[in-house]
Structure 1
Amino acid sequence: MMGPPTEGSTATSAPITTESLENNVKSDNTSYSAYIGVQSSADAETHVTRRGEFALYHLSEPGACIDNLTPGLPLMLVYYTTTKKHRHYPVRSSGSNGEVHYFVDCGYPIVRKHFSLNQLVQYYRTFGSIQINPDDTCAEAFSWWLE
């Protein structure tokens, strides 16, 4: 196979560890520019203020019970919808034969997968950007209506 499948089932997806993602994100400027660090969901929303805009962050909820801590923090994508609401989606990875593919788990049963976080960010910046029509309608990059 020449590349990752662009679509596939999310049934075998797993959370991505904080350490592996920080190394992946910091190694490339495109994805690093979309990364806002470790944030609570409320704090992440303050970084995304324009419709159609998104950012990547590691979710850390203050005041969480120490018994519920995990070795890594989940990588999330915060998205500001065209209806001016914030939505948060986990970024997951899947793969086989030593290949890792990243995708945004936004409710679709079949999703576009990417070789790297950089590719994921470039894709959504290029094809996920919104064009607001004069009648205030447009298409969304992420399917918040499936929630």
Structure 2
Amino acid sequence: MSIALLIIFVLSVLFLGISLKTLHGAFKRVESVKANFVVDNCYKKGITLVFRANLNILANDIEHNVEIIQLRIYNSNGRYLGSWTKDGAVPEDFVFTISNVHLFDGKDKMKGERITIDGFVKVKLNIGRYGMRLNLPVNAEVSISEEK
């Protein structure tokens, strides 16, 4: 009876070691995954701010897809201006807008004002049987260019 328990114990420890080594390898592969988010252009159009952005996921040959992107937009004083969310496939180059009647507080010209954007991108990495989801932080700063 004790020999059977000893064999079960040895096999359990062996399988635990193999599982931990596999898990360690998976985490080593995903530790360098990053999101590169750049806002190329921002301009005011009526009561709307229009942003042209580029999102690139650096995933070291790991198959991945973007599930959701959520951004919060602030002015140079740190005042919250709005947020933008998109679920599903997000192309590498995309346009997003925020609109608000009180966005500019009576300012006619916004050219040159700094806008800060931060948020996260939820990425599904196809690793293992079920995959892994990561929330990658993104942030950018842009000046409002000539109004269109």
TM beyond 0.5? no
Higher helix share: 1
Higher strand share: 2
TM-score (norm 2): 0.26
